[in-house]
Amino acid sequence: MNPAGRQRPARTLLELLVVIAIIAVLLGLLVPAVQKVRESAARAHCQSHLKQLGIALHHHHDVRKCFPPGLVTDQVTLSDADSTGFTHLLPFLEQNATFKLYSFDEPWFAQANYQAVGIEIALFYCPSNRSGGSIDLAPMAAEWNYPLPPRAAGCDYAFCFGANGALNRRWQKQPPETRGVFGIRGTREITSGVRLADIRDGTSTTLAMGDAAAGTPALLVRDMTNPSQPARGLLTGQPVIIEQSWGAAGVGETTHPWYGSVLAVTAQYGLAPDPRDEPMNRKPLTPTVYGGDARGDNASGLDYVSGFRSVHPGGCNFLFCDSSVRFVADGIRPAVYRALSTYAGGEVVSGDDY
């Protein structure tokens, strides 16, 4: 009870404002800390996804005696390929049901594969970026007046194509010292992928896969005629968000240069005097584009392959060919980055270099 004649002191407005200010400061300190903890957990979860993909790659190697190709196609232009390395990994990822739905006798966009390519597989998404997502193919089908699957399930990882963006069915034209472990093969060359014994630069210093985040507004495709600016969709007029699908095996072409594909590179040429480096987390992002490089070594610069990118602050997670997973900072020296992406370049790289 309040003794007679005495009143409880009232809080002044100034005191209330001080309390609110203190709470605001505490919240300002707490929120970034919580976000940092969440990102740390998500990044570790992403590394777990890549680790599982690495185990699947080695199981594939045990059974097939080689790694799968990055892309499988008999088409000259590569705009419509048959399957991807992810498709061939499905039975080694406990995805037998999806694998059995896929018709390897037909390209990915054939009606027989509509259901399969639309299936979202949780392991193919980076937890820091998203838990699902797919590409709506209806607008493309209408624009091209060609039947396509209704949707193609997304993917946030890419196979390392090396330090050269040459997109040529005759893959032997790509300079050997610039090749990544996951290249292009024909339908009759599925068992002629790279073997562990072929990785002369060392499995612990050769990239197999890495982050290739997509479907996120922060990751826009660059305008190929004005690289500092984002590209805009012909129909919407809006900036184009990079996207790719584990099952959609094609690459973009010059009239629709917006797709990311399941491949990624560290350089577009990879040789002196101008390797045309493709830095990690470049913004706006380079799309994967078949430009018709006649020589097949991309000396002309007509072909492009996307670079690795993520929503992890400061770099990307990478799976190495020995099945280890490491975070690589996006400030890595270009020469070291190129060296990590090739399997027979003859470079010497140590852990202190990145």
Question: What is the pTM (predicted TM-score) of this model?
Answer: 0.90
Token digits for 288? Answer: 């994967």
User: Which strands form 83-84's sheet, in the order they lie side by side?
Assistant: 83-84, 71-72, 184-185
Token digits for 25? Answer: 């400061």
Q: What is the pLDDT of residue 80?
A: 80
Q: What is the dihedral of CA 319, 322, 324, 329, to 10 degrees?
A: -50
Q: What is the pLDDT of residue 30?
A: 66
The one-letter code for the residue type at 205 is: T
User: What is the C-alpha separation between 218 and 196, in angstroms, rounded?
Assistant: 36
Long-range contacts of 48-52 (CB under 8 A, 24+ apart): 49/123, 49/124, 49/125, 49/126, 49/127, 49/157, 50/157, 50/209, 50/210, 50/317, 50/318, 50/319, 50/325, 51/319, 51/323, 51/325, 52/93, 52/123
Q: What are phi and psi of 293, to 5 degrees?
A: -60, 115
User: What is the C-alpha separation between 60 and 66, in angstroms, rounded?
Assistant: 7
Mean pLDDT per 10-residue section of the chain, whose length is 354 residues? 53 74 74 67 96 98 97 86 95 97 93 97 97 94 92 98 95 96 95 96 97 96 94 90 95 91 98 97 96 92 97 97 97 97 90 79
Q: What is the pLDDT of residue 9?
A: 55
